[in-house]
Amino acid sequence: MSGFDTLLAQSTAPRAEQARALGLPTPRVERWKYVPTRTLARTAWVAPTQRDTDTFALSGGQFLNIPTVDGLTEVQSGLTESERLRLDAMATAHGFSLTQDALNGHQLILEVGASASVTLTLEHLANLSLEAGFATLVIRVGSNASLSLIETFEAEAASETNLDSLRMLVSVARDGRVNHLKFQAANAGQLIFHAVDVDLSENAQYTLDTIDFGSKMARSDILITLSGRHANTDVRGLALCNGSQYHDTHLAIDHAVGETTSAMMFRNMVDDKGEATFNGRVLIRKDAQKSATEQSVANLLLSERARVNPKPELEIYADDVTASHGCTVGSLNKAELFYLKSRGIAEADARAFLQYAFAEEVVERVAHPQIREQIETRLLGELTHGELIAELKDALDV
Amino acid sequence: MLVIRNLHARVDDKPILKGINLEIQAGEVHAIMGPNGSGKSTLSSVLAGRDEYEVTDGEVIYQGQNLLELEPEERAWAGIFLSFQYPVEIPGVKNIYLLKAAVNAVREHRGQPELKAGEFLKLVREKLKIMQMDEAFLHRNVNEGFSGGEKKRNEILQMQLLEPTLALLDETDSGLDVDALKIVGEGINRMRDPSRSVLLVTHYQRLLDIVKPDYVHVLADGEIKLSGDFTLAERLEREGYEGIEAA
């Protein structure tokens, strides 16, 4: 049983029946162990509608205003065989991924031409109450091309339950590069499901900054496959959970060939009754010699009832690799607090300083200045005593 | 200014201070010297309010109030400043944010008007010059990646900005080369004032050659074993702590 039964019953998609039969994953499905499925299961989800806008947006499972810029083409000829296989793997993981597949609205395929340089800003519009929108975006980045992909979320004040699901397939050809920035500050009623599958050819690069502040719950499944030599990826993430928010990122990096490098840095800051899950898995295959990976995961717990479920995993089958990893869970550092307080900074302000500092490790690396500014403003708003830092920034930053 | 009577403190279950008695008048500079593990740093930490230390007996009266009842920030507002032996690195917080927040927090509690950004920058540039520090230090994260000497200069820079009534300097000379020692020492001397007292904790005499103390105390095994004037420091340098203790 799931809240999608009615929609699935109406669907003629090949996997609709299977999705309905299987229902939502239970906690026995390891990857879904901590996901609160109550709202998913109990909401009587309805088909989405689209809102009006002028910019490139995802609204109710449809992409609107597909940009026409130099170097970017919308492909009409459908998926390649390998894309189809990757999407199949994504779709058949469990009952919910089948649902995502069966209820998919729009599948958009975009191609960035060889040596082109394109910036795409996609805004996720808030869906209406009880609406569940599902979409798929396939992006091919040509050789030596560069794509800057920015995803933002409309932070409507409305807090009615709604669902936004986006599956993304990204294939980067030789020497291509993708900088992906996702700033999720969605409305408090939204459930967000993001699945990203990236494949990197020789000397291709993919960086991801993923910032999760908003929504009721957000789940990201990210798979990055380094399939060409000298491919490299760098993923940085920050999730803030306040109230009873749940944020969950499952990140897997697959070093399929040698001389590939990866780095992941993830920070969870959890307050109130919030909960964060982070699963970071790095696989270095037998033939992926001379690969290197760095993993840094830190979790900051700010209340008694806050919970984190961190799980860093390193699976290494090659013998000539460099791997470093670290995972910490803790509360604010006492020595740092004392230092600030000994300078006359009040306890509440000192705590805000340190929370800000924890988040800044990720935020300060966001390359896009305007979005970084938005992230910082929102971050300071989320902190219980962020006003002092906001004032200092205003007064002292040039 | 400061009266310490029979002060006992421990960390976990280990007694460290075993009955300290010390009186510091306004304008005086007192040096506390002693071997490693004698309790020197514990004394300055207890006075600044670090909560790992538990005071088990005795009292500390600062300007007529019971110091031990105050939170660390309240002590700072009351004019106490601790220069840390190991200044804490705070990645993600710009030095200039800390400095301005600290200066204005302390000013507010002293009934002084808040310094606006322009006024603050003017003041901080003046102090940077004294400490021979580059303005770039303002925009780096607090102590992150600073060398030992840079951290200590940053501490004295903060002291200059906060203008404490009682400065506790915990091994401010450790990790300094000769030039930095001179800059830091002179930075401290500039702060000497009839209304300001300094408690200077050190292992060696070299800082005392620049900052001449009015009194020198030898702390060993949690107690002040001997007090004297500046010549005591010279004696210590010649005879070592063992010679003094035996005497």
Q: How far is CA A158 from CA A67, A127, A182, A340, B96, in A?
A: 28, 10, 21, 38, 39
Dihedrals φ, ψ of A393, to 5°?
-60, -45
The residues with which A235 forms a beta bridge, in sequence order, are: A208, A264
**B174: Cβ contacts below 8 Å, ≥ 6 apart:** B85, B148, B152, B203
Q: What is the pLDDT of residues A302-361, one digit of tens each?
A: 999 999 999 999 999 999 999 999 999 999 999 999 999 999 999 999 999 999 999 999
CA dist A149 and B58 (Å) reads 64
Choose among B71, B101, B109: nearest Cβ to A388: B101
Pick from B73, B117, B158: CB nearest A396: B117
Tell me the C-alpha distance between A314 and A293, whole Å: 9
How many CB atoms neighbour CB A324 within 10 A? 11
Residues sharing a CB contact under 8 Å with residue A80, sequence separation 6 or more, in sequence order: none
Name the residue facing A395 among B50, B91, B117 (closest C-beta): B117
CA distance A124 to A155: 9
- Closest-approach residue (CA) in chain B for A336: B88
For residue A13, the model assigns a pLDDT of 95
Instruction: Judge: A342–B162 Cβ closer than 8 Å, yes or no.
Output: no
A20, A5 contact by CB (below 8 A): yes
Q: Closest CB to A336: pick one of B88, B102, B105.
A: B88
Q: Tell me if B116 and A340 make a contact (CB, 8 A cut-off).
A: no
Q: Which alpha helices (DSSP H) does A72-206 contain, by range? A: 81-91, 95-102
Instruction: Identify the CA nearest to B166 among candidates B10, B34, B25, B16.
Output: B25
Q: Which long-range contacts (CB under 8 A, 24 or more apart) does A337-341 make?
A: A338/B49, A338/B50, A338/B51, A338/B72, A338/B88, A339/B84, A339/B87, A339/B88, A339/B90, A340/B90, A340/B98, A341/B49, A341/B71, A341/B72, A341/B73, A341/B76
Both tokens of residue B222?
Answer: 């949690």
Cα gap A236→A296, rounded to integer Å: 9
* Domain extent listing, chain A: 5-331, 332-398
A44 class by beta-carbon count within 10 Å (0-12 exposed, 13-18 middle, 19+ buried): exposed
Q: How far is it, in rounded angstroms, from Cα A132 to Cα A96?
A: 13
A76 by DSSP, 3-state: which? Answer: coil
Query: Any idea how long chain B is?
Result: 247
Residues in chain A: 398
Domain architecture of chain B: domains with CATH: 2-246 (3.40.50.300)
In angstroms, what separates the C-alpha of A361 from chain B's closest C-alpha? 6
- CA-angle at B200, arms to B196 and B202, nearest 5°: 170
Q: What parts of chain A have a pLDDT lower than 50? A: none
Helix, strand, or coil (residue B235): helix
Q: State how beta strands A117-124 and A57-59 pair.
A: parallel
Q: How many CB atoms lie within 10 A of CB A213?
A: 25
For helices A81-91 and A95-102, what crossing angle results, to 10°?
130
Nearest-neighbour CA in chain B from A339: distance (Å): 7
In the DSSP assignment, the letter for residue B67 is: G
Residues on chain B bordering chain A, Cβ-to-Cβ distance under 8 angstroms: 48-52, 71-73, 75-77, 81-82, 84, 87-88, 90-94, 96-98, 100-102, 105-106, 109, 116-117, 141, 158, 162
Cβ-defined contact of B98 to A345 (cutoff 8 Å) = yes
Q: Tell me whether residue B157 is exposed, middle or buried, using C-beta atoms within 10 angstroms of its C-beta: 0 to 12, 13 to 18, 19 or more.
A: buried
- Strands of B14-24's sheet in order across: B14-24, B2-11, B53-62, B65-66
As averages over each run of 10 residues, the pLDDT of chain B (247 residues) reads 96 94 96 91 95 95 96 97 95 93 96 94 95 94 93 95 96 90 93 95 90 94 93 86 67
Cα–Cα distances in Å, from B74 out to A18, A187, A284?
65, 40, 53
- Chain B residue at shortest CA distance from A353: B93
Per CB-CB distance under 8 Å, the chain A contacts of B101 are 343, 345, 349, 353, 388, 392
Q: How far is CA A214 from the centre of its chain?
A: 12
CB contact under 8 A, A338 and B72: yes
Structure tokens at A344: 């006359």
Is B109's CB within 8 Å of A346's CB?
A: no
- What is the C-alpha to C-alpha distance for residues A69 and A73, in angstroms, rounded to an integer? 8
B-chain residue closest to A360, CA distance: B92
Query: What are A59's two structure tokens?
Result: 């609204």
Q: Which tokens hold the place of A70?
A: 């130099």
> CB of A199 within 8 A of CB of A227?
yes
Interface test with A, best of B77, B82, B86, B90 (most A CBs within 10 A): B90
Helix (H) or strand (E) holding A380: helix A369-382
Please answer yes or no on whether A334 and B51 come within 8 Å at the CB atom.
yes
Choose from B41, B89, B93 for mutation: most chain A CBs within 10 A.
Answer: B93
Q: Which residues contact A156 (CB under 8 A, 6 or more apart)?
A: A126, A187
Strand partners, A330: A300
Cα–Cα distance measured from residue A220 to residue A266, given in angstroms and rounded to the nearest whole number:
13
Nearest Cα of chain B lies from the Cα of A207 at a distance, in angstroms, of 21
Give the position of tokens 């000829």: A77
